[in-house]
Structure 1
Amino acid sequence: MKRRTLLASGGTALAGSMIAGGAAIRSIRRSPGRSVARAENALDRDRIVETLMEGTDRETAAYEVDGSEEGPTAVIIGGVHGNEINGYRVAADVTGWEIDAGRLIVIPFANVVAVERNTRGGPDGDLNRLFPGGREPESDLARAIWRVVEGADPDLVIDLHRSRGLFNTHHRWVGQAIFPTEGGGAIDDAASVIDHVNEHYVPWTMRFHRFTLGNVQDDDRDAGLLVQKVNLDLNVAGFLVESTDFLLDLDTQIRWTGAITELLLDRHGIRRTA
């Protein structure tokens, strides 16, 4: 597809390598303040294309990264849950990337109040339950984010998260999984990326931390998940990426989340250049 112009609303070099299992199996808590500062330092503020919720405590920015050639458009979102540090750290880093083709629209700190508080939810509760399919999002912030997503006319949307446990192992938790949409070839993309990450990033000593294919995000209009709305309203490829902090240090969470992001983009013809 051709690269679109600026937001309609107005506005592969893979990082990292396979790591030793011993270095990864450490459960550590990093200072949220330090993590926010590191994410902020990674931002390329010259690439801001829109300020969402300007003048409020929810004010946050959308960034645009353009490739030298025409190509597809991807939207990348981090910080929907403010205590999921790997997501906003990777998304912030993406704003400084160079890519060969297409464009990226990035919202690194989607739920900035929750990020500052290091909490899952913000003033409106759980932001990732406020995007019902076929209807208006249910808060001002959710509506502002959706306007950017929809206005970008994306070919794919990547929503970066972190869970507490392991999918199909721990009750309630969904870590180490990619949840694809039904449309846009997302299922095949997710399966291919999972195979690559498990082979090249997750050490054989950490077999319980291998990524798996999560439930397909299809037709639940009332779930309120952003990726569900991407499937129902836009019918394009969407990916809910869930790393885990179960016996996994933050640096490894970031490394694996970043690798998945690069690989998903690569599958759609957007390659990060050195």
Structure 2
Amino acid sequence: MRRSLLPGATALAGVLIAGGAAIRSLHHSPERSFKRAQDALNQDRIIETLMEGTDHETAAYEVTGSKEGPTAVILGGMHGNEINGYQAAADITNWGIDAGRLIVIPLANSVAIERNSRRGPNGDLNRLFPSERTPESTLARAIWRVIEDAAPDVVIDLHRSRGLFNTHQRWIGQVILRTETDGTADTANDVVEYMNDRYVPRSMRFHRFTTTSIHDIDRGSGLLVQKVHHDMGVPGFLVELTDFLLDLNTQLRWTTALTERLLEQYGIQRAV
């Protein structure tokens, strides 16, 4: 009996050790991650500097296609320790697209990113966007103004959770949280199916993506995508990857692929 259990126990130990190493690799050098994102930014595409001259200074970028088309707003770094989101958004500033435009705020919460912290000096930035009211900090108001000026057809906010939805009680990783705007359920379902078929190995069944309405999860009030839905009638998606047994490179690759697929559903095709 002891011998029959050894292979399974050894395999489990290997998974746990590898998973621990993967999680540690995410956090071992936040400074390096921030520097990598800064270096990736396409400075020629800056259209506005928000909070210029303050600790919160950050930039908005515009990526335009050769033809007219829809507009999408993409945000990363609302929470400063969610590296995959801000690195993916920084990379997107270098994309080419066939039509339409992208407005990208890659390092939304620059102070929190520098500190590798979820929260900035004014608390959780993604709780400062109450529906039908003025955003509750100077930075939140600056971000909201950029979104209003963009008049987007869709808003995508990139995040990362510690655990897995329906596996770990507190966490919601591997989920596309969608607003209840018309069409978002079908769109999210398509993206989930695509990611699970093309990217998530069958051996990682707990990491398969799913989707649910953001209103069905108690995340509190003040979320940006909720305000986008309520105040503008625009579809919003809050993308949550996980760092549970998932290395940063994989998180980044999946975040990028998922965002690309979402944009395709709204008529914005990345140019190869």
Same fold (TM over 0.5): yes
User: Whole-Å Cα distance in 2 between the matches of residues 184 and 85 of structure 1?
Assistant: 31
For residues 222-274 of structure 1, give each alpha carbon's deviation from its aligned partner in whole angstroms, at most 9, with x where no partner exists: 70000110110111111000000001100000000000100000011101111
Higher relative contact order (CA 8 A, sep 6+): 1
> What is aligned with 2:271?
273
Which one of 102, 105, 108 corresponds to residue 103 of structure 2?
105
CA distance in 1, matches of 2:166, 2:203: 19
Partner of 1:7: none
Residue 94 of structure 2: which of 93, 96, 103 is its match? 96
Give the CA RMSD over aligned residues.
Answer: 1.8
Deviation at 1:217, TM superposition (A): 4.0
Which letter does structure 2 place at the counterpart of 1:125?
G
- AA at the equivalent of 2:104: V
Partner residue, 1:10: none
Matches within 5 A, 1:201-220: 201-217=199-215
Q: 2:163 matched to which residue of 1?
A: 165
User: How far apart are 1:60 and its partner, in Å?
Assistant: 0.4
Task: Check the 8 A contact 1:217/1:227 in 2, yes or no.
Answer: no
Deviates more, 1:57-66 or 1:184-193: 184-193
State yes or no: 1:252 paired with 2:250.
yes
* Residue from 180, 186, 189 that aligns with 2:184: 186
| Aligned equivalents of 1:69, 1:217: Cα separation in 2 | 35
Q: 1:62-100: per-residue Cα shift (whole Å, max 9, x none)?
A: 000000011000000000000000000000000000000
In the TM superposition, structure 1's runs of 4+ consecutive aligned residues that sit over 2 Å from their partners are 24-30, 214-218
Equivalent residue number for residue 123 of structure 1:
121
The alignment's TM-score, normalised by the length of structure 1, stands at 0.89
Could you tell me whether the CA contact under 8 Å between 2:58 and 2:110 is conserved in 1?
A: yes
Other structure's SS at 2:236 match: strand
Measure, in 2, the Cα distance between the counterparts of 1:157 and 1:77. Answer: 8
- CA distance in structure 1 between the aligned counterparts of 2:215 and 2:55, rounded to whole angstroms: 31
Count how many residue pairs are aligned between Structure 1 and Structure 2: 252
Distance 1:190 1:51 in 2: 32
| Deviation at residue 115 of structure 1 after TM alignment | 0.3
- Name the SS of the counterpart of 1:99 in structure 2: coil
Give the structure with higher Rg (CA): 2
TM-score (norm 2): 0.89
Q: 1:43 aligns with which of 41, 46, 50?
A: 41
Q: Which ranges of structure 2 fall in alignment gaps of 5 or more residues?
A: 1-14
Per-residue deviation, 1:214: 2.4
**C-alpha separation between the residues in 2 aligned to 1:178 and 1:32?**
25
Pairwise CA distance, 1:184: 4.2
What does residue 67 of structure 2 align with?
69
User: Does the 8 A contact of 1:76 with 1:158 survive in 2?
Assistant: yes
Partner residue of 1:236? Answer: 234
Report the alpha carbon displacement of residue 215 of structure 1 after superposing the two structures with TM: 2.7
Structure number with the higher helix fraction is: 2
In the alignment, residue 237 of structure 1 is paired with which amino acid?
A: P
2:141 paired residue among 140, 143, 146: 143
